[in-house]
Amino acid sequence: MAVQLSVEPNPRVPLRVLHEDDHFLVVVKPAGVVTQPGVGHTHDTVLNAVFATHGKQLQNLGKARDFGLLHRLDRPTSGLLLVGLTPEGYDGLRAQFEGRTIGKTYLALVHGGPKPPQGTERSPIREVRRGGRKRAMLGAGRGAQEAVTRYATLARTKGISLLSCEPKTGRLHQIRAHMAHRGCAVVGDRDYGPRDALDKQFARTVKGALGLHAAELRFTHPVTRRSLSVRAPLPEAVLAFCAEVGLVVPRAWR
């Protein structure tokens, strides 16, 4: 008897698997692809793609365990996502997310550059709704939560820098809001950025994206307890844009 699946499988959604074992997957989400089904996106998400290959395992995890999905990325953000396949895998990784012991490195292309070139941004963030959409607002006030982002400048050329950003908390649009607050908004960010000629050039070269990529995850295997690190280099289109503007990307991220 066929298993009744809660999410429609769709093998046509582009997805790369960087790590797979019995207990979890690490996949690369392209920019422009939604993480999970919702209004307007019922069959073209990351979860639809994973259901096409691992539907039975995800269905067994059920809605209570988000059908294996451990975290999310905004639609225009590319990069790494963890998906649990067994209760042991999901629960063990979920505990690490909740304990803030999973290391996350994002690569961000930003306007200008932060001052100082490396440091920690600690402005609290609260979620607000504007025009029916959630936005991050900085500063203390009702509903504000702790938000911490460490950053370092990896490369810089005229008008643009490449940063590594390590969010120690997981607030809405945290890196985007924090970098905009530092005066160096993420390139291509229509919500928090300036929308100038650099953004237009980026949009021509890199479709449906902003300059933010979830590049590395560091965690403990939920069953074997081995330390793991998984990296995803910058997408080819982003590397092409960097070459256009004369920004030299470190070898580790190419």
Is the confidence at residue 135, as pLDDT, over 80?
yes
Task: Report which DSSP code applies to 145.
Answer: B
Taking residues 113-122, what's their average pLDDT? 97
Q: Which two tokens stand for residue 209?
A: 């994206």
Distance from C-alpha of 78 to C-alpha of 84, rounded to nearest angstrom: 19
Helices (H), 62-194: 87-98, 174-181
Is the confidence at residue 131, as pLDDT, over 90?
no
Is the confidence at residue 110, as pLDDT, over 80?
yes
- Rg value, the chain, Cα: 18
Q: Which two tokens stand for residue 34?
A: 């939604």
Taking residues 217-234, what's their average pLDDT? 98
How many helices (H) and strands (E) in the chain?
5, 11
Q: Which two tokens stand for residue 184?
A: 């160096």
239-242: long-range pairs with CB below 8 Å, 24+: 240/205, 240/206, 241/109, 241/201, 241/202, 241/205, 241/206, 242/109, 242/162
Let me know the angle formed at the C-alpha of 163 by 162 and 166, rounded to the nearest 5 degrees: 155
Is the confidence at residue 168, as pLDDT, over 60?
yes
- Arithmetic mean of pLDDT over the chain: 96
Report pLDDT for 1: 52
For the domain with range 103-218+234-246, which CATH number is right: 3.20.20.100, 3.30.2350.10, 3.90.180.10, 1.20.120.1200? 3.30.2350.10
Is the confidence at residue 2, as pLDDT, over 70?
no
Residues for the chain: how many in total?
Answer: 254
Confidence of residue 130 (pLDDT cuts 50, 70, 90): confident
Report pLDDT for 3: 74
Domain limits, CATH 3.30.2350.10, in the chain: 1-99, 103-218+234-246
- Using the Cα atoms of residue 222, residue 226, residue 227 and residue 228 in order, give the sign of their dihedral: negative
Distance from C-alpha of 82 to C-alpha of 13, rounded to nearest angstrom: 17
Is the confidence at residue 187, as pLDDT, over 60?
yes
Taking residues 128-149, what's their average pLDDT? 91
> By the 8 A CB rule, do 75 and 32 touch?
yes
Taking residues 102-125, what's their average pLDDT? 97
Given 21, 74, 189, 191, the catalytic residue: 74
Beta pairing, strands 212-220 & 103-111: antiparallel
The question of whether 74 is a catalytic residue gets the answer: yes
Confidence of residue 140 (pLDDT cuts 50, 70, 90): confident
Which residues 6+ apart lie within 8 Å of 78 measured at CB?
28, 29, 30, 31, 209, 212, 213, 214, 235, 238
pLDDT in tens, 9-43: 999 999 999 999 999 999 999 999 999 999 899 99
Taking residues 61-83, what's their average pLDDT? 97
Superfamily of segment(s) 1-99: Pseudouridine synthase (3.30.2350.10)
Helix (H) or strand (E) run with residue 52 in it: helix 46-61
Report pLDDT for 247: 98
Confidence of residue 145 (pLDDT cuts 50, 70, 90): very high
